[in-house]
Amino acid sequence: MGRRRFIYEFGFTMLAYLLSVVVSSQLLTTSQGAIASITLALLPVPFLCLMAAAVVRQLRRMDELGQRIQLEALGLAFVGSALVTFSYGFLETAGFPRLSMFYVWPLMGSLWALGCILAIRRYR
């Protein structure tokens, strides 16, 4: 029941998020004024907050082993993201191009998934 509920909650908020990104992107090109632009740019953020809440609820529903696996995976994602982003930050001082903050979450999410795979294999 818990997994199905999570998929529903996360899927619904992901769909709402994607729609808000499309709407925001379309309207942002024609918006006039700083307040309107800021509001439209931040339109997807409440849906990101709902997704985060769904993830936290799912983590709370997990048993102790599932929580431990997620903790280890998130630890790997945290440390790995810090190492990669700081290393690249130093490379920027050597002339590498500046990267958008949009690169951080895909890196973190990928490392989280890798951490889950490694932790699940460890506890088999």
Q: Which two tokens stand for residue 96?
A: 């590498």
Phi and psi based region of residue 62 (left: phi greater than 0; alpha: psi -120 to 50; beta: remaining): beta
Domain ranges of the chain: 1-61, 63-124
State the pLDDT confidence band at 1, using cuts at 50, 70 and 90: low
Quickly state the pLDDT bin for 5 (edges 50, 70, 90): very high
pLDDT at residue 3 tops 90: no
For 3-122, strand residue ranges (E) read none
Nearest in space to 5 (alpha carbons), one of 47, 58, 42, 64: 58
Whether the per-residue pLDDT at 80 is higher than 90: the answer is yes
Per-residue pLDDT of 11-69, as tens digits, reads 999 999 999 999 999 999 887 889 999 999 999 999 999 999 999 999 999 999 999 99
